[in-house]
Amino acid sequence: MAGITDCAFRHFMKKQGAGILTTELVSANGIEHGSLRTRKIMQIEPSQVPVGIQIFGECPENLAKATAFCEEKGADFVDLNLGCPVNKVVKKGAGSAMLKDLPKLGHTLSLMKKATSLPVTIKIRTGWDQNSRNALEVAHVAFNEGVTWVAIHGRTRAQGYEGLADWDFIKAVKEAAPLPIIGNGDITSASKALARLKTSGCDGVMIGRGCLKNPQIFKESLNLMQAHTKITKKNLYDLFLELYKSLVLYCEPKILNLQIKKFASWFSTGYPHSAQFRKQLFTQKDPKDLLKIIEDYFEQIAALPQKDTSDEAFLMGGHG
Ligand SMILES: Cc1cc2nc3c(=O)[nH]c(=O)nc-3n(C[C@H](O)[C@H](O)[C@H](O)COP(=O)(O)O)c2cc1C
């Protein structure tokens, strides 16, 4: 997730049981132009393997060059973003706009495959809009070009983040697809992760926003699946301190404070007086005071139950 799943957050998530990790989307054109910011986003660490780098762009040749560069940077696989709904991206023909031109998509994937010995994967929407939901055709194109798996966010591009991910549609694609399918959309708890995995028949599920409100969602899901038990929730402040260490280690100093505020406020979702806490966070400038506010709040709510907010709108916009 752009602006979120950077090296620091992935480091933390891996410790919290995440299986396969992916960077946020990286511009193939940015790589071509040697943008420093772009290269920073591509930073991956051995502690995160297996980890893929996700690229996006509209130019097949640049995407192929970017694919080779991802291999040089140590990625375990290269993922092509075909789900980004953002106007600035689709206007150029990148992201989900590529779902509308399957011959070009096939050509792009063929060049990407030739450029690397790594697995190439794709992340798509169900289609451009309700009348053109072509995820299955896309899966066939991908299979023909040797793509390793297709991850499907169960909404169309036209939907943005409105409505719910259509898991019946994902299931139907999975049943007919010739390659592994990973389902994605609206998984906010371990029980939902397992239920989606079982009922859709998907080869895996992908969790995005759910780990921001519940950083233990991967651990909880694995535990539920393997041992059929619930894990004991960790103290939220202890968890936050683990993330904080990661942020200090990997974040650029100029965004450190912002990241601390963002993650602390997401962690607080559903707890009493969280709105007040968030207000306090975002008016605080001194990093030391910031940590104190977070410690006080998380200690204060340590024994309190969290309200189930999974039906509430949350981060209704993004690049996939
Ligand atoms: C802030 C934000 C940024 C995102 N950035 C990306 C991205 O860079 N690449 C991508 O494939 N998907 C991106 N997504 C989409 C998510 O990966 C996921 O498909 C979507 O949020 C639905 O799944 P979820 O309900 O588990 O979050 C982003 C989503 C959000 C909310």
Identify the segments of the chain with pLDDT beneath 70.
Answer: none
Mutation to probe ligand 1, out of 88, 209, 259 (largest number of atoms < 8 A from CB): 209
pLDDT value for 233: 74
pLDDT tens digits, 176-223 = 999 999 999 999 999 999 999 999 999 999 999 999 999 999 999 999
Give the whole-angstrom CA distance, residue 105 versus residue 142: 8
pLDDT value for 25: 97
| Ligand 1 site, residue 262, Cβ cutoff 6 A | no
| Ligand 1 site, residue 82, Cβ cutoff 6 A | no
Give the whole-angstrom CA distance, residue 222 versus residue 215: 13
pLDDT value for 312: 85
- Per DSSP bridges, beta strands 181-184 and 150-153 are parallel
Dihedral, CA of residue 14, residue 270, residue 204 and residue 233, to nearest 10: 50
**Domain limits, the chain:** 7-227, 237-300
pLDDT value for 287: 75
pLDDT value for 162: 95
pLDDT value for 307: 85
pLDDT tens digits, 41-59 = 999 999 999 999 999 999 9
pTM of the model: 0.96
pLDDT value for 310: 80
CATH architecture of 7-227: Alpha-Beta Barrel (3.20)
pLDDT value for 218: 96
Q: Which residues are catalytic?
A: 84
| Ligand 1 site, residue 95, Cβ cutoff 6 A | no
CA of 317 to the centre of ligand 1 (A): 8
| Ligand 1 site, residue 52, Cβ cutoff 6 A | no
